[in-house]
Amino acid sequence: MTSFGVVARMRRIFRQKKIGHTGTLDPDAEGVLPVCLGKATRLVEELSRGTKTYRAVLILGIRTDTQDLSGTVLSRSAVSVTEQQAEAAVLSFRGRQMQMPPMYSALKVNGRKLVDLARKGIEVERKPREVEFSDFRILATELPRITFEVTCSHGAYIRTLCSDIGDRLGCGGCMESLLRTRVETFDLADALTLYEIEEKTARGETDFILPPEYFYRDLPAAEVRDSALKVTLNGRPVSGTDLFFPDGVTAPERIRLFTADGTFIGVSRKEGRLYRIEKYYMETD
């Protein structure tokens, strides 16, 4: 199922149109896909740009046009490297580097998706992008396969990483399978399948739906004085003196903002001596 398919299914489950996912998964990939409902869709961009962790299987000796096994095989080569050489090549990609986005991707050039052009046999010039890979772990090596786990920055392609590793070893390579195990703080161990979500919703259970405030739980909280509440709700900045901060907290850069009765308003960012709403989540009549 594609990420778009997940959203379509969620719209039917929750009977609402305003739903967005936080990072496209390849059709052949599985794993964590945080989905935002209603006003929480304002989290989509922030979550999409966060770090993601994947468990991938790289198969050496095969090059394909899509950089995974779903594509057309372009070449096959003998794999003559040792396990130690193969693992060293994987780990050599740790850190910041430039990566060329694949043609088979949802990126757009001049308003057209690269994947649509690739399917027509058209290849266009792309610009490499800076990405970062960290927390590499080799989980298993049984050549020609290597299973590894890696955390990456926004915009990184694990398919391309697998292909680049194969090229560095001289035998080529592509991705055999991919599982996304984490998106920011959202872990596979806490994830639900679409079937489980459908079953819980049918029983009226909503404990698995997290409020937007959950994503900002590490930010200091502040309460808006009643005299400044209307100004805040109108989107205008307020002074730090219009806010109640917890003991020991002094003018932090970003805060969670609440009304006097504990209703979450949103997130504010400090601008000089003022605080301006950055993301607004409060439901109003």
Give the list of residues 6+ apart from residue 176 with CB closer than 8 angstroms, or none. Answer: 57, 58, 59, 68, 69, 145
Name the CA dihedral angle for 216, 222, 223, 228, rounded to a multiple of 10 degrees: -100
Of 58, 71, 76, 64, give the one whose Cα is nearest residue 27. Answer: 71
Tokens of 83: 């396990």
C-alpha–C-alpha distance, residues 106 and 126, integer Å = 13
Catalytic sites, residue numbers = 26
C-alpha–C-alpha distance, residues 150 and 135, integer Å = 6
C-alpha–C-alpha distance, residues 244 and 69, integer Å = 57
Give the list of residues 6+ apart from residue 186 with CB closer than 8 angstroms, or none. Answer: 32, 34
Name the CA dihedral angle for 184, 188, 189, 194, rounded to a multiple of 10 degrees: 120
Tokens of 37: 């409902």
